[in-house]
Amino acid sequence: MTVRARWSLAAVALAAVAAVVLLLWPRPPAGVDAVAGAGPYQVRLLVAAPSVGARDVLVEVTGPPAERVVVAPVMSAMGHASVPVTAAATAPGRYRAVGVELFMAGRWDVAVVVHGAGGPAEAVFPVVVGP
């Protein structure tokens, strides 16, 4: 085999390996961005990286002014609720809940409870948590 043929064979093999690696490399789960209505409020839930561990959850509330926003995730299939976290206001209508424990992979129901001028209301978002 000529030198050129050998080099081209090596290049092809390397390209094939790179393609396989790129296709199969584990990717982090896609973020969650969902909107739901809760009574008089509109609630938007943002979870950047829904994987097992303590995660930050961002909540945006539009509608009557909200006084307190609580994020309470529940794994309904296992019958287990995680500790509810009161979100701190970062800007008008925007809240951040720090350290929400998603301790297992699978389907979670994240309930966002809004207390405010329009009365208390709750929106439940399905979130799939990756390993």
Partner 1 sequence: MRFGTRTTRGLVVATAVVAGLLAGAAPASAHGGVVGADLRIAASLGDRELTVVIRRVGQVPGPLRVDVVNHAESPGGVLRIGAAPWGGAPAGNETDVRLTDGGGFAGGVLQVDRAGSWELSVADGRETARLPFVVPQDVMAPWEWTVSGGYTAAGTLLLAALAAAAFGRRAWPPTALGAGAVAAVVVATTAALLSAGIPEPETDPLTGLPGPARPVAAPVAPPHVNLLASAELTAGRRGPVDLRLVDGATGRPADDLVVHHDALLHLMVLGPGGQFAHVHPVRLGPGHYRVWLTPAAGGTHRLFAEIERRGGGVQVVSAAVAASGPAVAGVDSGAPGPGDRILADGTAAHVQATGLVAGEPTVLGIELSRDGRPVRDLQPWLGMAGHLVTTGPDGGVGHVHALPVGAMGSGNAPDESVATGGPRVEFVYTFATPGRHRLWFQVERDYRVLTVPVDVDVAAGPEAGS
121 touches partner 1 by CB under 8 A: yes
Please identify, using beta-carbon distances, which residue of 33 and 65 lies nearer to partner 1: 65
* CA dist., res. 70 & res. 89, Å (int): 11
The answer to whether the CB of 32 falls within 8 A of the CB of 18 is: no
Largest CA distance in the chain: 81
User: Which span (42-50, 54-62, 80-88, 91-99) binds partner 1, by CB under 8 A?
Assistant: 80-88
* CA dist., res. 78 & res. 75, Å (int): 6
29 touches partner 1 by CB under 8 A: no
Report the helix count and the strand count for the chain, using DSSP H and E.
1, 9
Count of CB atoms within 10 A of residue 47's CB?
27
Please identify, using beta-carbon distances, which residue of 19 and 33 lies nearer to partner 1: 19
Residues 3-22 that bind partner 1 (CB under 8 A): none
113 touches partner 1 by CB under 8 A: yes
68 touches partner 1 by CB under 8 A: no
- Closest among 117, 104, 4, 107 to 55, alpha carbons compared: 104
* Least distance in angstroms from the C-beta of 49 to partner 1: 17
Q: Give the footprint of partner 1 on this chain (CB under 8 A).
A: 1, 24, 39-40, 52, 70, 72, 74, 78-84, 103-106, 111, 113, 115, 118-122
